[in-house]
A = this chain, B = another copy of it.
Amino acid sequence: MAPRGELPTTSFAVLGLLSYGPLSGYALASLAEQSIGNFWTIAKSQVYRELARLEELGYVEGTDVRQEKLPDKRMYELTNEGRSSLIEWLNNPSPDKEGTRMRSTFLLKVFFGNLMEPEQLLDMIRTHRDQAEQALERFDLILDQLSRDPGAVYMLTTAKLGKRVTEATAEWADEAVKSLSRRRTPSKRRSQPRKSGRKR
């Protein structure tokens, strides 16, 4: 990402958020987390470096703001050039080599599940399912709110994917627990241990 000369994706994420209005670094970081945080995170310190760079490029303009009760801050607003650059990036079928990457400690553990205590693994998956179900409730709230706002069609669209993926995850977890319980742990159930022909 940022294959020489070009800006990385995060730069455009920042420009995009600033397209809604001026923000301080702190506010931008918070907004990023709440809005696009589910599919694009920006490290707090990266936000400041990014803003500095974008200011150098003339894509944003920063002005210092004194505050009485709160720490002073610097507000950044999008320039016309910044907006153009953002729009061009958006409409330019970007060289998306990377596409969509995921990172999950949980799945890593499942993958090496043969080295886990069977019950421990099952517990972990059950917990994951419960978390997914909680997340589902949150998604429903958000979807409800966004549905009312006709200006939020695109956010709504991304949130819908979040919901679908979360549903899929919960269903998978349920199935996984069932299918993994069925072949192990003759404990705590009235089933007798049969000869389980496993190698190694």
Contact = CB atoms under 8 A, between A and B. Distances in A.
A113 B154 CA distance: 6
B113 A153 contact: yes
B101 A41 contact: yes
Given A96-B106, A99-B105, A105-B9, A35 B199 contact: no
A198 B150 CA distance: 8
B161 A103 contact: no
A154 B112 contact: yes
Contacts of A91: 116-117, 120
Oligomeric state, in copies: 2
Interface of A: 9, 12-13, 16, 19, 35-36, 38-41, 86-87, 90-91, 93-94, 96, 98-117, 120, 123-124, 131, 150-151, 153-155, 157-158, 160-161, 164-165, 167-169, 171-172, 175-176, 179-180, 183, 198-200
27 contacts: A9-B105, A12-B108, A16-B108, A16-B115, A19-B115, A39-B103, A40-B104, A40-B107, A41-B101, A41-B103, A86-B115, A90-B112, A93-B120, A100-B107, A102-B102, A107-B158, A110-B157, A111-B158, A150-B198, A151-B199, A153-B180, A161-B176, A164-B171, A164-B172, A165-B168, A167-B168, A168-B168
Closest 6 CB pairs of A and B: A113-B154, A39-B107, A100-B104, A164-B168, A168-B168, A16-B112
